[in-house]
Amino acid sequence: MIETALLILLAFALAQGIKMFLVQPFVIPTGSMEPTIAIGNRVLAEKVSFRFFAQPAYGDIVVFDDPNSQHPQLIKRVIAVAGQTVDVKDGAVWVDGKRLVETYIYGKPNELGTVRMPVKIPEGQVWLMGDNRTNSGDSRFFGPVLISQIKGRAVWTYWPPSQFGALE
């Protein structure tokens, strides 16, 4: 009986440690990343690389605390990092004066938000945008996001089974 209780306690502690430091599951709350990731999909976000080895980079899909507190977390794509200047004009996103080629937005137009453009990204922050630009509350509305608010880099969809696989 004591052995079983200790094994259950050990399993619980191990699961919590993995969730806290290595990888964590998240449920997608909005359609801002469609069709890349749909509402209700479940993804795994790895926490090791940003904590120990790297900073978020262009193209990374990240899970972060919702700045407006409407959802526990949101998921978006990194568009610009500290020191870069981002702008939305002529229906396109421009970073440091160069138009981005964004195959992941599937022809969705880029629209202005409430944040005044262009924006130079401050140190320790990133500019995040959803792939579904016409249905994404992102940095165009709440501005750059602190890297410390990022929970992890989304790397894998595990639910539904039809979309099981690595994220790009």
Query: Active-site residue numbers?
Result: 32, 76
Residues, the chain, total? 168
Query: CB-based burial of residue 36 (10 Å sphere; 0-12 exposed, 13-18 middle, 19+ buried)?
Result: buried
Q: How far is Cα 127 from Cα 18, in angstroms, rounded to an integer?
A: 28
Question: How many other CB atoms are there within 10 angstroms of residue 138's CB atom?
Answer: 23
- Cβ–Cβ under 8 Å, residues 77 and 131: yes
Q: How far is Cα 136 from Cα 118, in angstroms, rounded to an integer?
A: 19
| Pick from 55, 49, 53: nearest CA to 22 | 49
Task: Using DSSP bridges, classify how beta strands 42-46 and 165-166 pair: parallel, antiparallel or unpaired.
Answer: unpaired
Q: How far is Cα 26 from Cα 91, in angstroms, rounded to an integer?
A: 31
- Cβ–Cβ under 8 Å, residues 46 and 155: yes
